[in-house]
Each structure stands twice: as structure tokens, then as C-alpha cells.
Amino acid sequence: MKFSAQQIADVLQGSVDGDPQVEISTISKIEEGQSGSLSFLANPKYTQYIYTTEASAIIVAEDFVAEKEIKATLIRVPDAYNSFATLLAYYQNMIRKEKHGREQNVFVHPTAKVSDDIYLGAFAYVGENVKIGKNVKVYPHVYIGDNVEIGDNTVIYQGVKIYHDTKIGGNCTFHANVVIGSDGFGFAPQSENDFRKVPQVGNVVIEDKVEIGAGSTIDRATIGSTILRQGVKLDNLIQIAHNVVIGENTVIAAQSGVAGSTHIGKNCMIGGQVGIIGHLKIGDGVMIAAQSGIGNNVKDGEIIQGSPAFSVGDYRRSYVMFRKLPDLNQRVSSLEKKIQDQQKE
């Protein structure tokens, strides 16, 4: 399948700087571009490659100014990264075969209400009183428990398990082996080496446009609901504990964990391998650097790092001092020796 630079520019509502008829047949990273490929430049760290790449066309920002000659045709757009994402979605929809109908060995309980236009892959299970909206894609080996509700246009990839009473909005995506609604970690100490399980009788509520990466787990609430608000994006291998609430459009990178009853605000950005203890309040617009440990409430708009985490500016200044500790220790030891020598005289 081939496209001209002008056709791509038309899709992205951009303009062409160079040969509008140059043909594009594939997509590549800018540093690996070959003739016939399309790439993009959004991160300034990769600017050097725009002068050496063999890509035939490159998506760039409207205000990009070349410092020397570029062989490739440029497609200028307001936002190169967003435009490239739009193009990838457009390309994916063209090449991916749309799934429809019911494959063999599917179980749907007679009380379930399932739209006629959904896709149900082989060995999918749909329990009692389930409600599934229009154009939902349920891939093979998915389990959907009793009383689950799923909104329109949601995609549930293979191996996902959705426990009973979960409520899911529209236009969500759950990648392979996500588990939604498993029991929260609730055990009451009875005596030494003895714990009594606390029943987890709440549920999980996931609003519209939420995406959850492969292998992540969202625990059901002890009482009430664990809630992921509209637009939340979770990476792979993330643990969200019981009664956690995550605000609108917050994003969390891989291998992070949020303990029970913590509330995270909207528009937060949380790096990979971050650990957040329970019963905290994380404000709106907070940014947390990777591998940080959060043990206290965080105010709106704060940028924090470290374990335990604190202001990123203070953390960086402290880290400079930390790196100097061996030298400082050597200097102190030398001064102590001099003092001891003087005292002996």
C-alpha cells in the first residue's frame, strides 16, 4: 500500500515542503529511515538524524527551521507527535482486519444482554446479567463475570478477567491478561501467625476512554468502589489496590503500585516503579519521578523525586551532596588525623 506525501499531509491537515508526490510505503524511526519510509521528528534529541536519514518524508512541526540541507520531503504540522499518532491510528485501521461475530466455543448466559454487532472470540465467557454495548471486541479466553457492564466501542484483549459487578465505560482498552475486580488485600490479624480474610464486597468502576496495559491488576473495593476516572492511562504490570481513586487523565508508567484507599488527582504523571502507600491524597497535576517512594500527602502541582520522595529541586541538590560524601569523608578523616597528631606533640 502506497501513499504520496500530499495524501498524508491532507490526512493530517498539514503542508508539504518538498516533493508532494514522493511515495511512502512504510513507517520507520528517523534514525533507521530508508527510501520509501515515513518518519517524524518531535524530540529535539533526534534532530541530528533529520540530516542523515534515508527516509523519504518526515513529519515535523510547522516552526521547524533546518540548519542545513535535508534530502527528505517535510510534512509540516502544528504538533508532530500528535500528528504521527493520528497517522498510526489511521494506518492501523486500514491494515487490521475488523473482527465480527461469534467464534466457536463461546458461552453467553441467557440473561446477558449483548449487542448483535460485537465480536466474541473463542472460549470467551459472559456471565449472568452482563450488559455489553455496541461494537465491543472481546478476544479469546476472556472471562466476564456476573452483572458486569461494558460500554460501547471497548476492546478487551485475550486473557482478560473481569470479575463480577464491575462497571466499565465506553472506548476503553484492556490489554492481555489484565485482571479487574479481584479481591483487595484485606486480612485482619487474629493472633500470631493467623489472619482472617476481610470480605471484599465492593466493585470496580472504570469510566470512559481508560486504557490499561498488559498484566495490570485493579482490585475491587472492600466497601464502595475502586474508581478509574475518564481518560486514565495505565502502563503494563501496575497494581491498583482496593478503594483507590485515580483522577481524570492521570497516567502511570510500568511496575508502579498504589496501596489501598489512596486518592490520586487529575492530570498527574507518575513514572515507572513508583510506590505509593495507602490512605494518601495526591493532588492534581502532580509529577512523580521514576522509582520514587511516596509516604506522605502531595499538594497540587508538586514535582517530587526520591525515596522517601520530596521536592525534585531539593532532591537534585541533595544528590549532588550525596555524590560528594566519599570525598568529604576522606577530608574529615584527614583533618581528624592531623588533629590527633597535633595533640600528641
Contact 219, 182 (CB under 8 A): yes
- Strand 3-4 relative to strand 23-24, pairing: antiparallel
109, 167, 218, 258, 301 from 252: Cα distances, Å: 35, 21, 13, 10, 16
Cell 492534581 belongs to 284
**242 labelled catalytic:** yes
For residue 166, the SS3 value is coil
Catalytic, out of 109, 164, 175, 242: 242
Q: Residue 194: what pLDDT?
A: 87
Cis peptide before 199 (omega within 30 of 0): no
Task: Please give the chain's pLDDT, 345 residues, in tens.
Answer: 789 999 999 999 999 999 999 999 999 999 999 999 999 999 999 999 999 999 999 999 999 999 999 999 999 999 999 998 898 888 777 767 778 899 999 999 999 999 999 999 999 999 999 999 999 999 999 999 999 999 999 999 999 999 999 999 999 999 999 999 999 999 988 877 889 999 999 999 999 999 999 999 999 999 999 999 999 999 999 999 999 999 999 999 999 999 999 999 999 999 999 999 999 999 999 999 999 999 999 999 999 999 888 788 888 888 788 788 888 888 888 888 888 878 876
Q: Residue 328: what pLDDT?
A: 84
Question: DSSP per residue over 276-326, as a string?
Answer: E-SS-EE-TT-EE-TT-EE-S-B-TT-EEEETTEEEHHHHHHHHHHHHTHH
For the chain, the maximum distance between any two Cα atoms, rounded to a whole number of angstroms, is: 98
Distance CA(257)–CA(267), nearest Å, equals 18
Q: Residue 310: what pLDDT?
A: 78
Distance CA(125)–CA(117), nearest Å, equals 17
Write down all domains in the chain, each with its CATH number in brackets: 3-95 (3.40.1390.10), 101-315 (2.160.10.10)
Distance CA(97)–CA(171), nearest Å, equals 19
Long-range Cβ pairs for the range 116-123 (8 Å, 24+) = 121/158
Decide: pTM greater than 0.75: yes
Distance CA(233)–CA(193), nearest Å, equals 38
Q: Residue 31: what pLDDT?
A: 94
Q: Residue 95: what pLDDT?
A: 67
Partners of 16 in the beta sheet?
A: 75
Task: Tell me the one-letter amino acid at 43.
Answer: N
